[in-house]
């Protein structure tokens, strides 16, 4: 004895539901349907991707404050060297070293960036020239204070970094400490 599995199944010879064509259910999937489905998928997926939110902007690099400090110190040392001939040798050495620090930091920051940096704007004005202190002793103490601050800043950051970046911050700290003693 057999039991019907669907309500329309009966002892009659028709096993399809009423109003349906058995030819439709037995129709194989053709190449055209597969190509049509692929085309619809190719059109739909980019549209769905375009509706998502853009990724957030990257966080600023932790080496940026060291870079800004190195650039500011190099500008100050260059201004002091030009204004005070008796400090020119030490200030020139400081300017050269802090410029080298800035270059090394810029290369490391650029290397670590995973997105393309924005094109530099031609409408940006250059930083105003740095005015050195009015007397030589104030200039010397200003340079020593800048170096002391840079050494402390790099020394605080070095243990938080790893690998090449930690070594870079540590060497900048040591260099600034040494330059402060030489001045």
List the helix and strand counts (H, then E) for the chain.
6, 0
pTM: 0.65
Q: What was the pLDDT predicted at 121? A: 47
Q: Which of these, 66, 89, 67, 65, lies nearest to 77 by C-alpha position?
A: 89
Band of the pLDDT at 112, cuts 50, 70, 90? confident
How far is the C-alpha of 182 from the C-alpha of 93, rounded, in Å?
A: 10
Assigned CATH topology for domain 64-113+130-182: Ferritin (1.20.1260)
pLDDT surpasses 80 at 75 = yes
pLDDT surpasses 70 at 16 = no
Length of the chain: 183
Least confident of 53-57, 63-67, 94-98, 104-108: 53-57
Could you give the percent of the chain with pLDDT greater than 90?
51
Residue range 103-121: average pLDDT?
75
pLDDT digits (tens, 9 = 90+) for 114-149: 655 555 544 455 566 777 788 999 999 999 999 999
Supply 180's token pair: 């402060």
* Domain locations in the chain as residue ranges: 64-113+130-182
pLDDT surpasses 70 at 110 = yes
Q: Which of these, 129, 139, 128, lies nearest to 84 by C-alpha position?
A: 139
The SS3 of residue 130 is: coil
Q: What was the pLDDT predicted at 79? A: 94
- pLDDT higher for 57 or 103? 103
**26-54: b or e for each residue (b if 16 or more CB lie within 10 Å)?**
eeeeeeeeeeeeeeeeeeeeeeeeeeeee
pLDDT surpasses 80 at 106 = yes
Instruction: Give residue 2's Cα distance to chain centre.
Output: 71
156: left (phi over 0), alpha (psi -120 to 50) or beta: alpha
Lookup result for tokens 């080298």 = 100
């Amino acid at each position: 004895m057999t039991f019907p599995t669907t309500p329309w199944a009966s002892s009659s010879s028709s096993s399809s539901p009423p109003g349906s064509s058995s030819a439709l259910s037995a129709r194989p999937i053709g190449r055209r349907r597969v190509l049509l489905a692929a085309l619809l998928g190719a059109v739909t997926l980019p549209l769905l991707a375009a509706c998502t939110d853009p990724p957030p902007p990257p966080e600023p690099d932790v080496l940026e404050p060291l870079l800004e400090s190195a650039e500011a110190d190099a500008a100050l040392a260059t201004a002091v060297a030009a204004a005070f001939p008796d400090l020119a040798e030490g200030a020139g050495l400081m300017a050269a070293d802090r410029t080298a620090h800035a270059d090394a930091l810029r290369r490391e920051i650029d290397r670590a960036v995973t997105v393309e940096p924005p094109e530099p704007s031609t409408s940006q004005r250059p930083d105003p020239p740095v005015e050195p202190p009015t007397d030589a002793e104030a200039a010397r103490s200003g340079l020593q204070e800048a170096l002391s601050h840079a050494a402390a800043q790099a020394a605080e950051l070095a243990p938080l970094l790893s690998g090449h970046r930690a070594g870079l911050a540590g060497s900048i700290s040591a260099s600034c400490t040494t330059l402060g003693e030489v001045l």
